[in-house]
């Protein structure tokens, strides 16, 4: 039954609408089964509109009507239709012209159009199809034919829309995938870390520019072209073999440090490797990983270690002579007294001072004076064997510590130093021929003293007595043993 939506003389207005309350087919663009197929019927003859609407009554369609072309075009602009049944022969604007307008508008060009016409000549049919009509329904209407054609083209339209949606979705997915691939490739190509795949033997399968750069090559292609792989060229083979062994055992390695040899570069270099074992398409085991250039950090760590060693060295050595300094002397001498007391053994020390050193400085200058002190220290060092050691005590004074030496052996060692000095020409490399002599004093634990200060004082006093008697000689501490003073 028809339910008029606009009961006040609808044909005079040119447009009116009926809704049939029947089962509702799902139509193109529909989001749910409750969305009806919307059909626009355009015909200048009310009787034709009545016939068509009566035929479509059982289809459950949402029908709208227009009696001429301009009205139909206005309706299409303001509403959405799934199908248009369009009369060809109409005054003012025929169906062909309406169809052309529809096809020229992007918003309406995809709406399927079925011509309603008594003209079924070949020329009209061809013209309609050229304009874009989907089909013809001839007058007088055959109910079964009209229903079948409407249903068929609605289903075709829905299928096309669904295909279009699927196609659009596919294009979006392809575009998104390309974007992801592009981002991944950009990350891969521009990454600071080296990325690679290689065989277990070291043949590079693929690599990014950073991996080539870290190994000292200009491009990934350069290392990929190396047929025998880069194991022998870029790595120390035994070290890489060990890395592969660990990788096989664990399946993965993290921050594995490896030495490398860069192309045409003899400087040491290191990398950190994070890698895993995986398989290629043939099922062969390959290595896939990321490498970081660790050379700067490694060199910095080595420099820090050298600095620490140097600091520790300078903490107990004299900067000018490279002999031990007084800080070390006081520490080690106290320890030596303790161990000698515990083991009931002797040790001796020599206190020596270069004779007339002020004349050397006055004659040759302070720089040459410092150089002369360095050369005397070399002379002293050349006479000693560990655990004996020399100490730069200050200025032109030196102390020699002789563990497990009694006084006779210590005096003998002092004489060796004295004779070595007398046989040496100093400042020769500076263009001078300088002979140097020294005065020596010897004290022995526990014969002369029982503590560090008295040991040094006894040897110093013995040396001073030599200075007063004529220099260039040796004197042992004499008199009663000095007891520990409680200091040092």
DSSP 225-246: T-TT-SHHHHB-HHHHHHHHHH
**Domain closes at, from 163, 186, 219:** 163
| Assigned token pair, 233 | 């060229």
pLDDT of residue 119: 66
Q: Is residue 15 part of a domain?
A: yes
Q: How confident is the model at residue 444 (pLDDT cuts 50, 70, 90)?
A: very high
Task: Give 4 or 24, the one with higher predicted confidence.
Answer: 24
Q: How confident is the model at residue 481 (pLDDT cuts 50, 70, 90)?
A: low
- Number of domains making up the chain: 3
* 131 shares its domain with 18: yes
Q: Is residue 170 part of a domain?
A: no
Q: How confident is the model at residue 479 (pLDDT cuts 50, 70, 90)?
A: low
* 351 shares its domain with 269: no
pLDDT of residue 17: 52
| Assigned token pair, 342 | 């515990």
Would you say 349 and 400 are in contact if contact means Cβ atoms under 8 Å apart? yes
* 130 shares its domain with 39: yes
* 29 shares its domain with 132: yes
* 332 shares its domain with 294: no
* 263 shares its domain with 326: no
Q: pLDDT for 71-130, tens place per residue?
A: 999 999 989 899 999 888 888 898 889 888 898 888 888 888 888 877 666 676 777 777
Largest Cα span, the chain:
154
Q: pLDDT for 210-234, tens place per residue?
A: 999 999 999 999 999 988 888 888 8
pLDDT of residue 278: 94
Rounded to an integer, the average pLDDT of 289-310 is: 90
**Domain closes at, from 270, 298, 326:** 298
* 338 shares its domain with 395: yes
Q: Which domain holds residue 83?
A: 10-163
468-488 b/e (C-beta count within 10 Å ≥ 16 → b): eeeebbbbbbeeeebeeeeee
| Whole-prediction pTM | 0.50
By percentage, how much of the chain surpasses pLDDT 70?
A: 90
**CATH number for the domain harbouring residue 332:** 3.30.70.270
**Domain closes at, from 120, 142, 163:** 163
Kindly tell me if the per-residue pLDDT of 69 is higher than 80: yes
Lowest pLDDT segment from 134-143, 294-303, 348-357: 134-143
Q: Is residue 304 part of a domain?
A: no
* 110 shares its domain with 14: yes
Q: Is residue 31 part of a domain?
A: yes
Q: How confident is the model at residue 21 (pLDDT cuts 50, 70, 90)?
A: very low
* 235 shares its domain with 370: no
Distance CA 303, CA 310 (A): 10
Q: Is residue 182 part of a domain?
A: no
Query: How would DSSP label each residue in 383-425?
Result: T--TT-EEEEEETTEEEEEEET--HHHHHHHHHHHHHHHHTPP
Mean pLDDT of the chain: 86
Distance CA 197, CA 214 (A): 15
* 30 shares its domain with 154: yes
Q: How confident is the model at residue 40 (pLDDT cuts 50, 70, 90)?
A: very high
Query: Dihedral, CA atoms, 478, 481, 486, 488, nearest 10 degrees?
Result: 50
**CATH number for the domain harbouring residue 229:** 3.30.450.20
pLDDT of residue 418: 96
Q: pLDDT for 322-356, tens place per residue?
A: 999 999 999 999 999 999 999 999 999 999 999 99
Would you say 95 and 86 are in contact if contact means Cβ atoms under 8 Å apart? yes
Q: Is residue 142 part of a domain?
A: yes
* 231 shares its domain with 286: yes
**CATH number for the domain harbouring residue 102:** 3.40.50.2300
Q: pLDDT for 163-220, tens place per residue?
A: 888 888 988 888 888 888 788 777 778 888 999 999 999 999 999 999 999 999 999 9
pLDDT of residue 320: 94
pLDDT of residue 484: 54
Q: Is residue 171 part of a domain?
A: no
* 32 shares its domain with 75: yes
- DSSP letter at 14 equals T
Q: pLDDT for 459-473, tens place per residue?
A: 999 999 999 999 999
Q: Is residue 415 part of a domain?
A: yes
Beta strands in 262-404 (DSSP E): 269-279, 285-293, 347-354, 389-394, 397-403
Closest CA to 96 of 74, 76, 117, 75: 117
Give the relative orientation of helices 366-381 and 407-422 as an angle to the nearest 10 degrees: 130
By percentage, how much of the chain surpasses pLDDT 90?
A: 53
């Amino acid at each position: 039954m028809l339910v008029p939506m606009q009961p006040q003389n609808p044909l005079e207005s040119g447009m009116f609408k009926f809704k049939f309350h029947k089962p509702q087919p799902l139509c193109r663009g529909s989001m749910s089964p409750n969305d009806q197929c919307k059909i626009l019927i355009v015909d200048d003859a009310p009787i034709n509109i009545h016939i068509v609407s009566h035929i479509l009554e059982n289809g459950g369609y949402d029908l709208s009507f227009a009696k001429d072309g301009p009205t139909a075009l206005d309706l299409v602009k303001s509403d959405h239709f799934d199908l248009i049944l369009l009369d060809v022969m109409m005054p003012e604007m025929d169906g062909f012209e309406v169809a052309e307008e529809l096809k020229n508008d992007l918003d309406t060009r995809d709406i399927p159009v079925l011509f309603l016409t008594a003209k079924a000549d070949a020329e009209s049919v061809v013209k309609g199809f050229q304009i874009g009509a989907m089909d013809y329904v001839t007058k007088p209407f055959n109910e079964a034919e009209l229903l079948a054609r409407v249903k068929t083209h609605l289903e075709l339209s829905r299928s096309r829309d669904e295909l279009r949606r699927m196609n659009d979705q596919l294009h979006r997915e392809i575009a998104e995938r390309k974007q992801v691939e592009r981002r991944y490739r950009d990350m891969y190509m521009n990454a600071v870390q080296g990325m690679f795949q290689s065989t277990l033997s070291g043949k590079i399968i693929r690599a990014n520019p950073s991996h080539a750069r870290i190994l000292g090559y200009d491009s990934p292609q350069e290392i990929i072209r190396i047929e025998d792989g880069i194991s022998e060229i870029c790595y120390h083979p035994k070290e890489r073999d060990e890395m592969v062994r660990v990788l096989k055992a664990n399946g993965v390695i993290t921050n594995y440090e490896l030495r490398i040899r860069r192309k045409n570069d003899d400087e040491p270099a290191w990398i950190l490797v994070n890698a895993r074992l995986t398989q290629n398409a043939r099922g062969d085991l390959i290595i896939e990983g990321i490498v970081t250039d660790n050379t700067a950090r490694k060199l910095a760590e080595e420099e820090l270690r050298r600095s620490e060693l140097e600091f520790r060295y300078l903490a107990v050595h004299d900067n000018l002579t490279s002999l031990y300094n007084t800080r070390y002397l006081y520490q080690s001498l106290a320890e030596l007294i303790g161990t000698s007391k515990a083991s009931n053994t002797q040790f001796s020390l020599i206190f020596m001072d270069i004779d007339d050193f002020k004349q050397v400085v006055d004659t040759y200058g302070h720089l040459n004076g410092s150089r002369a002190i360095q050369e005397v220290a070399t002379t002293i060092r050349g006479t000693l064997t560990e655990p004996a050691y020399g100490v730069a005590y200050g200025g032109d004074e030196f102390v020699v510590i002789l563990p497990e030496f009694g006084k006779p052996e210590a005096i003998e060692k002092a004489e060796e130093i004295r004779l070595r000095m007398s046989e040496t020409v100093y400042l020769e490399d500076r263009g001078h021929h300088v002979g140097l002599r020294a005065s020596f004093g010897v004290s022995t634990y526990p014969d002369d003293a029982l503590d560090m200060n008295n040991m040094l004082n006894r040897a110093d006093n013995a040396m001073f007595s030599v200075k007063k008697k004529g220099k260039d000689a040796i004197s042992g501490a004499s008199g009663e043993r000095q007891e520990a003073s409680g200091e040092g």
